[in-house]
Amino acid sequence: MTHRLVIVASGNGSLAQAIFDATELDVDIVAVISDRADALVLSRAQKAGIPTQVIPMGDSRQIWNGQMISAVEQYSADLVVSAGFMRILPAEFVQRFPTINSHPALLPDFPGAHAVRDALAAGVSITGTTVHWVDAGVDTGPIITQMEVPVLPNDDEATLHERIKKVERGLIVATIALILPTLEHNA
């Protein structure tokens, strides 16, 4: 059974590209939605023949929440993958649509937007990446998979984040493959 995926992303799109390129996944990526019209992920999706949609955050969070829910609903998504989406999805959204997120730290350590910087500031010797179910909190949903990445003595935020991203790309694809059968079972 082919599952319908919607990817939400705000940035460069390297994580989304890993999903686009994953031939082992039995998925139809039905849309990439971004909150930023200038997000590089949109051109990556267009090159891959995937429909895109931009839903910018305006003055009203409530209106934006409704627009996000309506957009995903129209695509009949089985799974929403947050791949570098830098907005908090509303509780109603994540209660309605199974949603996973990739986070550049070993949750529950270092939640939030500055996980790599926070890990360096804390002086940890190991950090990593986590794929988790999204709930109404910030990086608080149940953990699905994690992979460790060592912090090297000469790491700065950019070098450490780049090494985490390399691991993250493989982990998000493996995690999607892992959970697809559970989605079939619930369908």
The residues annotated with a catalytic role in the active site are 103
38 within 8 A of 107, measured Cβ to Cβ: no
Amino acid identity for residue 59 in this structure: D
DSSP 33-68: EES-TT-HHHHHHHHTT--EEE----S-HHHHHHHH
Backbone conformation region of residue 13, classed left if phi is above 0, alpha if psi is from -120 to 50, else beta? left
Give CA–CA dist 40/38, Å, rounded: 6
Q: Which two tokens stand for residue 91?
A: 């509780």
Amino acid identity for residue 184 in this structure: E
Give CA–CA dist 110/130, Å, rounded: 11
Q: Which two tokens stand for residue 85?
A: 């989406």
